[in-house]
Amino acid sequence: MPQALTDCIDTYKLRFFKIKLCGDLDIDRDRLVDLVDLLERKVPRYRHTLDGNEQFRDMAAFRSHWDALAAHPELRSFLSREHLIFVEQPIQRDAALLPELRDVFRSWNDALPIIIDESDAELHSLRQALELGYAGSSHKNCKGVIKGIINACYLAYLRKENPETEFILSGEDLANVGPVALLQDLAVMASLGISDVERNGHHYFKGLSAFPEKIQHSVAEKLHPDLYQLHPDGYAAVRISGGDLSLQSVEDAPFGTGLDPADLRFLGEAKWPE
């Protein structure tokens, strides 16, 4: 399967990208300049997010880092809203929701949208973050499906009450593998209205090759032919076309997957233990 970024762009026609920061200014600046050159050549109308990944001790440290990057002439367009969607969790979780961040956000007049991720640990975390000045949060099924529904409903209410304000709920699938977990994860994302989902490298894996051929062919040819296809080497793999996934069969299936759970008992090759 394609692994290099250029190969993935060529194979899947990717248009959206998540780019991580390490917190070292020299490394981040040089790496981003290289990525700008690549993306402008391969995907001129690209969009991206930046993941701070808790690399900064506080917002002042992140803002200093951001200002230095934004001052670089080759990064100005890259960091503009034409390309950048939001920045995710730049601040370490033990400092990301401190009350003093409210003043930092208020004084940052042209601040880009920043969301929390690792700090979204409690039912009240999103509300707390929004009150400080963040723009939203991310959804992962590991945080809880019901929690994601609560967050989505709360943001929908806020958008109605404040139509001029941007509120963000992003999505991340944690590299789940089909033929059940990935599909159920995508079903939740669709239900929450999240149209662009960060895919943590699932397309690097060799599809469903670990499963019996019967299951692979059933998924790719009968149950979810819009989401899966048979790779030229014979195994079932996610069908990515123009950077998009089709979820029609996922939305139509009970709990996201058309597969009978009985078919998955030890891959259909053994009985359940007593």
Greater model confidence, 266 or 19: 19
pLDDT at 203: 64
Mean per-residue pLDDT, 196-220? 86
Q: What is the pLDDT of residues 38-49, one digit of tens each?
A: 999 999 999 999
Q: What is the pLDDT of residues 227-268, one digit of tens each?
A: 999 999 999 999 999 999 999 999 999 889 988 877 766 555
pLDDT at 129: 98
Return the beta strands (E) in 98-251 as ranges.
114-116, 136-139, 168-172, 197-198, 228-230, 236-238
Q: What's the pTM value of the predicted model, to 2 decimals?
A: 0.91
pLDDT at 21: 97
pLDDT at 271: 47
Q: Is residue 233 packed enough to be buried (19+ CB in 10 Å), middle (13-18) or exposed (0-12)?
A: exposed
Greater model confidence, 86 or 176: 86
Q: Is the pLDDT of residue 272 over 50?
A: no
Q: Which long-range contacts (CB under 8 A, 24 or more apart) does 94-98 make?
A: 95/57, 95/58, 96/54, 96/129, 97/125, 97/128, 97/129, 97/132
pLDDT at 262: 74
Report the percent of the chain where pLDDT is more than 90: 82
Delineate the domains of the chain, giving CATH numbers in brackets: 5-172 (3.20.20.120)
The whole-chain average pLDDT of the chain stands at 92
Report the percent of the chain where pLDDT is more than 70: 94
